[in-house]
Structure formats: structure tokens, C-alpha cells
Structure 1
Amino acid sequence: MDLSLRLWLIALCTLLFFSTTTIAADMSVSAINDRTKPVGNVHLEGTAPVVVVTTTPARTGQAVYDQYCASCHNSGLMGAPKKGNADDWAARVSQGDAVLAKHAIEGFNAMPAKGTCMDCSDDEIIAAINYMIKPN
């Protein structure tokens, strides 16, 4: 191989090596601040930590039903009582609200716990039950 070609290849490899290392290391002030920002907080004994509480408004019974319950309770899949059908709900309602809520929250037979809405509150599940047992 020709000496000048070798020198050009060595120079090209050196250039590529140093250009990639400078691209990889962003040394701007904002980049350094992002890399070195705190990942947590320290609270000294005797001081109360700041607690941030976020609340989301409760979903309506219809919203929970539409998203989680309709797939089974519209068609009566696997014996699920149909929405608004008094005959389907009569035996369940006669057991009382507490039993109905317990079965919906904990699951019963083919009914999964909370109808698969694991982030629903108990009140939202009860609202969905009340929405389903209302006559159409």
C-alpha cells in the first residue's frame, strides 16, 4: 500500500475518532446541569417533608361502565347480568347492596375483581353497579 494512502487513512481514522468523542460529550451548562441534578430529597430529623397530594375527580358510573364493564354486561357474556335488565339483576339485588358491592370489588365466579379496573375506587365500582341496574 502506498505511504501517502496509509497516512490519509490514519488521518481519517484519527479525525473520526476525535469527532465522535466530542459529539458524545455535550459540555454545555444546561447539559451538565441536567446530568448532575438531584435525584431525591433529604429531610433532616425534626423537619416535616413536603407532601404533594394530587387528586383526580371520581369517574362516573357510566364512565367506568363504558370503559370496563360494557364488554361483558352489554351482551351478557358468561352469564353477566345485562345493563338495565331487571330480570337479570333481580336475584343479585335481592342479596343486598353490600353483597353486590363485595362481589363486584373482590370478584365472584366469572366476574374479575373490580371488573379489571384496578385503579377504580370502591365508590366508582358501586357507581358503575348503580348505573347498570337502572332500567334502560
Structure 2
Amino acid sequence: MSEHRATRAAQRPLRRALPVVAVVAAALLAGCGKQQAVDHEVTAAAILPVAQLHIVLQKATPGSRTGEEIYKAVCTTCHGAGVLGAPTTGDADQWAPRIAKGLDALVASVHDGLGAMPPKGGAADLTDAELVRATAYLANTAGAGFTEPPVEQ
């Protein structure tokens, strides 16, 4: 048993010294060397998301869009699915009473807005000719025989 006590007595100073040595070593290491410069380009590249979305804004010259282009960009959202009572694209039964009023009446409704549809379908940049083209295109999908004005060059 005396051998056991001697071993424990020899270990006591070591047990007290280890935490002190660890703290001193950490303090010395923390102060060593110069701080590395941060490369913001590398950091940004490292944290980029897996998928990226690139949006390209393409502005058409006013007056140069066809009725189909305007329909796809502006009208299809509501008329494609019949949202909020909008007559569905190509549904002759829904469009028949509207077509019977004539192209001018349809264009006036689109220009001023009707029901939930805002004026010009929400596309304030449409010219009068483009408005007629889009209206004629949409009505023609349901069987109307309106003539679209030619695209300005």
C-alpha cells in the first residue's frame, strides 16, 4: 500500500500542472502569427447555393409584339385556366357572346378593364395596336375571324 501512496503522491503535481500548461499553450497559440487576409471571392464561391437562377430582362420595342407573344406574356395566366371568371382560351361557348359584340367592344373592355381584369390586362406598356392584336388573337382561339393589325417594323 505504501507503493500505491507513493505513486499517487507523484501524480498530484502533474494533475495540477496539466490544466495550467493547456491554458498557457492555448494563449500562446492564439497570439502566434499574423491573421490571414479573407478572400471574399473565395468565400462567396464556397457558399454559393447548389442551384442558381439567372434572370434576363428582355424588353420588346413597343408596337413590335405579336398577339400571340402578348397573350403568352400577359393573358395566359388568367385566360389559360379561367381564373376569377375569365373566359378560358379556346372555349367557344364562353367566348361566343363576347365575340358577337365585335372586336371594338372586346378591345374597349380590355383597354378599360372588366371584372377582375385590370386595364390592358395589367400591361400598361401595350400600344393600342398591340392591344388589338392580343384581343384578336385570344378571340380567334375560340373561333372568331378577326384580323390582327400587322406588326410595325
Counterpart in 2 of 1:118?
124
Matched, 1:97 2:103: yes
1:62 to partner: Cα distance: 0.7
Of 56, 64, 68, which residue of structure 1 is paired with 2:70? 64
1:81 aligned counterpart, secondary structure? coil
* Deviation (angstroms), 1:56: 4.8
Q: What are the Cα deviations for residues 25-66 of structure 1, in whole angstroms up to 9, with x where unaligned?
A: xxxxxxxxxxxxxxxxxxxxxxxxxxxxxx655200011011
* 1:119–1:91 Cα change, 3 Å: same
Aligned residue among 76, 80, 89 for 2:86? 80
SS in 2 for 1:109: coil
Q: Distance in 2 between matches of 1:120 and 1:56?
A: 7
Aligned match of 1:7: none
CA distance in 2, matches of 1:135, 1:100: 14
Compared CA separation, residues 125 and 56, structure 1 to 2 (3 A) = closer
Where structure 1 has 5 or more consecutive residues not aligned to the other structure, the ranges are 1-54
Is the contact between residue 85 and residue 133 of structure 1 (CA under 8 Å) also seen in structure 2? no
1:134: Cα distance to partner?
Answer: 2.1
**What is the TM-score of this pair, normalised by structure 1?**
0.56
Residue 122 of structure 1 deviates from its aligned partner by 1.5
Stretches of structure 2 lacking an aligned partner (at least 5 in a row): 1-60, 143-153
The alpha-carbon distance between structure 1 residues 56 and 126, as it changes in their structure 2 partners (threshold 3 A), is closer
Question: Percent same amino acid among aligned pairs?
Answer: 38
Taking a change above 3 Å as real, the CA distance of residues 112 and 57 of structure 1, as seen in their structure-2 partners, is closer
The structure whose Rg is larger is 2
RMSD between superposed Cα atoms in Å: 1.6
